[in-house]
Amino acid sequence: MTNVQFLHGLKTIGGNIMAVTTATSRVICDFGLTGPAIAPDQIDQAIASHDLPALPEIFHGEADAFAHEAIFISHLHLDHTGALPLIKSDIPVYVSQKTYDLYQVLLANGMAQPFSVQLHVLPFNQPLAIGDLSVTGLPSDHDVVGAMALLISDGLHTFGYSGDVRWHGPHPERVAKWVQVFKQRQLDLLMLEGTSFSFPDEADDQPHPARTEHEIAATLKAIAAANQTDLIAITLYARNVDRMIRFDQILRDANRTMVWEIPYARVIHTFAPDLPLTVLRETDDHQPLPNHWQVVGLAALQAAPERFVLQNDFRHLEWLALFNQVTYLHSNGEPLGDYNPRYKQLQDFLTTHHFHFERLAASGHAKQEDLVKIAQMVAAQCTIPWHSFHPELEAQAIEAAHAKTHVYLPQLNEKLLF
Ligand SMILES: [Zn+2]
Ligand SMILES: [Zn+2]
């Protein structure tokens, strides 16, 4: 008998953790937190208050009933990885190759918290046996490099796990492919994220559909062409490597030089080693730089601001005060929004200096209609919406579309038997 258990994150954005279990084997998908970090001495309390999944044996390094078990991480976001640093057991943790590479470069540059776990690579499209279960990672599209969907099978039943996904990103073919694979495998269960169903009140005052990576790239191109006076500054998200590479290329074509802070450049270099990046001298980390990189200082940018675009981490916001005119593009970098007190600091700074602010953001999560489309196309026996503040709205939308699937909203720690 196989069971699927929902251990965390049924009605939150992220923190979703599920386990597929047989008599001898256990596969756990994702291991995130939704709240603040938890100290090791608060583990039992956090399990009791449901802030951590009820897996004390993993947190305390105690023996359990499973001869074979592993954790699979769909992508490198805190809401999918935040509990990893609390693991005490030697349970192997699998990620995609790109997630592994991203983690290593972020760690080396002080941009990620370390996990002291047994981290392994799960190559895409190759089933890995965990006792009598098997797990396959399928490349997907999200706003972090290396994201994957997961397919788990016990030989008789098949369970699909969407991870976080969007169908309006730069790689829609990846999503189309795993949706097709899920459909062909005639899933017993599809666990489907539902982030875009989280904010029903806001949906009404957003007449414009979510912007795509393609659209924001085109907007950047237009801004760079139209603006012949300002320094353009951009705050970017270092884990959205596709976007960083695309922006660098667009600006190169527009005869503006993108100037990267060195830690961000090292992330890009991991995935695009041939790109001849230009980096900012003031962010020197005293490690050797690739020969084909250029180094410029802020003084060069001050001399000809219209020739450059500066990637600006919030920690270095003050550097922008060196310039008379700045167009500040907010492209999903930190601070992300109002909920972060630093966002007001950013806005105050820009207002004080009379700098122009423009949002250049695209969501990492599928639009509502795309989530419904995924549920319809996969047509699993049962679809479970989660990773949303309102999974019931996603459930209603799937039902309203007459998708050939039964929609179910499980309870915390509920076990579905197969
Ligand atoms: Zn998430
Ligand atoms: Zn995510």
Q: How far apart are CA 88 and CA 335, in angstroms?
A: 32
Q: What is the DSSP letter of 186?
A: T
Q: How far apart are CA 176 and CA 195, in angstroms?
A: 19
Average pLDDT on 334-347 reads: 92
Question: 242: which 2 tokens?
Answer: 């596709």
123-133 pLDDT, tens digit each:
999 999 999 99
Q: Is residue 12 part of a domain?
A: yes
Give CA torsion, residues 100, 103, 108, 114, to 10 deg: -120
Q: Which residue is associated with the tokens 């983690």?
A: 103
Nearest ligand, measured from the Cα of 30: 1
Nearest ligand, measured from the Cα of 16: 1
Nearest ligand, measured from the Cα of 166: 2
Whether the CB-CB separation of 12 and 26 falls below 8 Å is answered with no
219 and 85 in a common domain: no
Q: Is residue 259 part of a domain?
A: yes
The pLDDT assigned to 209 comes to 53
Q: How far apart are CA 243 and CA 350, in angstroms?
A: 24
Whether the CB-CB separation of 412 and 5 falls below 8 Å is answered with no
Nearest ligand, measured from the Cα of 13: 1
pLDDT over threshold 70, residue 20:
yes
Q: Which of 330, 359, 388 is the last residue of a domain?
A: 359
Q: What is the DSSP letter of 62?
A: -
Report how far ligand 2's centroid is from the alpha carbon of 403 (Å). Answer: 25
CATH number of the domain within which 195 lies: 3.60.15.10
Nearest ligand, measured from the Cα of 142: 2
What region, left, alpha or beta, does residue 61 occupy, with left being phi > 0 and alpha being psi -120 to 50 degrees?
left
CA distances from 72 to 66, 96, 149, 418 (A): 16, 9, 10, 21
408 and 385 in a common domain: yes
369 and 235 in a common domain: no
Report how far ligand 1's centroid is from the alpha carbon of 388 (Å). Answer: 9
Report how far ligand 1's centroid is from the alpha carbon of 209 (Å). Answer: 21
Q: Is residue 208 part of a domain?
A: no
226-270 pLDDT, tens digit each:
999 999 999 999 999 999 999 999 999 999 999 999 999 999 999
106 and 130 in a common domain: yes
- 344-369 burial, b if ≥16 CB within 10 A, otherwise e? eebeebbeeeebeeeebbbbbbbbbe
Domain total of the chain: 2
- Check the CA dihedral 110-115-117-122 and report its sign: negative
371 and 353 in a common domain: no
136-171 pLDDT, tens digit each:
999 999 999 999 999 999 999 999 999 999 999 999
Whether the CB-CB separation of 405 and 381 falls below 8 Å is answered with yes
Within 227-340, where are the H helices? 241-253, 262-271, 298-303
Average pLDDT on 267-284 reads: 98
Q: How far apart are CA 26 and CA 119, in angstroms?
A: 17
Question: 185: which 2 tokens?
Answer: 């495998």
Report how far ligand 1's centroid is from the alpha carbon of 139 (Å). Answer: 16
260 and 181 in a common domain: no
Distance of CA 396 to the CA centre of its chain: 26
Nearest ligand, measured from the Cα of 364: 2
pLDDT over threshold 70, residue 172:
yes
289 and 391 in a common domain: no
289 and 410 in a common domain: no
Whether the CB-CB separation of 374 and 366 falls below 8 Å is answered with yes
- Residues 6 or more apart from 381 whose CB is under 8 A from it? 186, 187, 188, 189, 405, 406
CATH number of the domain within which 255 lies: 3.40.50.10710
The pLDDT assigned to 168 comes to 92
Q: How far apart are CA 104 and CA 111, in angstroms?
A: 10
Report how far ligand 2's centroid is from the alpha carbon of 37 (Å). Answer: 17
The pLDDT assigned to 338 comes to 84
Average pLDDT on 391-401 reads: 97
Report how far ligand 2's centroid is from the alpha carbon of 90 (Å). Answer: 25
Report how far ligand 1's centroid is from the alpha carbon of 74 (Å). Answer: 9
Q: How far apart are CA 210 and CA 392, in angstroms?
A: 22
57-76 pLDDT, tens digit each:
999 999 999 999 999 999 99
404 and 263 in a common domain: no
Q: How far apart are CA 146 and CA 338, in angstroms?
A: 28
Cis upstream peptide for 335 (omega within 30°): yes
- Residues 6 or more apart from 207 whose CB is under 8 A from it? none
Q: How far apart are CA 128 and CA 151, in angstroms?
A: 10
To the nearest whole number, what is the mean pLDDT of the chain? 95
Question: 279: which 2 tokens?
Answer: 């980096």
Q: Is residue 317 part of a domain?
A: yes
Nearest ligand, measured from the Cα of 80: 1
Give the model's confidence band at 116: pLDDT under 50 very low, under 70 low, under 90 confident, else very high: confident
Q: Which domain holds residue 194?
A: 3-200+365-417
Report how far ligand 1's centroid is from the alpha carbon of 214 (Å). Answer: 22
The pLDDT assigned to 289 comes to 97
pLDDT over threshold 60, residue 207:
no
340 and 245 in a common domain: yes
Q: Is residue 273 part of a domain?
A: yes
Give the model's confidence band at 205: pLDDT under 50 very low, under 70 low, under 90 confident, else very high: very low
293 and 229 in a common domain: yes
Quote the strand ranges of 102-155, DSSP E.
Answer: 118-121, 128-130, 133-139, 148-153
The pLDDT assigned to 202 comes to 61
Give the model's confidence band at 203: pLDDT under 50 very low, under 70 low, under 90 confident, else very high: low
- Check the CA dihedral 244-245-248-253 and report its sign: negative
Degrees to nearest 5, angle at CA 283 with 280 and 287: 105
Report how far ligand 1's centroid is from the alpha carbon of 307 (Å). Answer: 37
